[in-house]
Structure 1
């Protein structure tokens, strides 16, 4: 019984006495070919194949220890070090800094030019025409005002409908 079973197994595998004692790797002639494949790897593919996402502020790659967060204002990716959690909302440091000013001109004028430029760049607002700090502040107020006017319009519509 075992001999016939092993003989059948050897014949199917292309090894053993039935086919002339052929080795499994030397010219495997059975339906199963056990030749090593240099393209096959037991390791998972490297992470470099996909898009490498990094923090917009520090430029470091996200990992298990450097978690990715999305800013609720500018919708860009930041790590936990470069973002602030406040009232269950995650904001990048730049958006948080400008939010702290309540978008008032005197407070915005106290900010660094670098922070104003970064805020506008994160929102894909062109800053090519800005030559002075005041130009940047005007642009911030202009674009922030557009967003708040939309909010005011929808809230006024909702209140007028409820009356």
Structure 2
């Protein structure tokens, strides 16, 4: 996974201190299937994920990441979930606090393939026979995106 230049620039200033970033998850549906890929960094099967670039609209980031990682064009239908992920500490010491925005997306065109090397495999999976996912919150992201007219879920606010 290539680290975006803006993150590298910030890291030169703050070192490994916690860095708040906005991430997106694109849960892309086509008929009764969902787009999943196996990440090249940790082998986990997940929907498409990525980081929002400075000044970029989050929904645009979900569309961009889907094209970059899977070669699939999608359109965002709605926001499904807003949640803070537990702090991530990478092997080299960098700490990141991701605010994740989960979007329900619809397939527009393209056959999935591992387009930029961030995924080792990408494909459509039947919703009623999903394989085991290594991260339990990925299954929740998919579940919250399934409802076509559901309102977005927000964590916290207690």
**Would you call these one fold, judging by a TM-score over 0.5?**
no
Larger radius of gyration: 1
Q: Which has the higher contact order (CA 8 A, sep 6+)?
A: 2
Select the structure that is richer in helix: 1
- TM-score band, normalised by shorter chain: under 0.3
Tell me the TM-score normalised to structure 1 length: 0.26
Select the structure that is richer in strand: 2
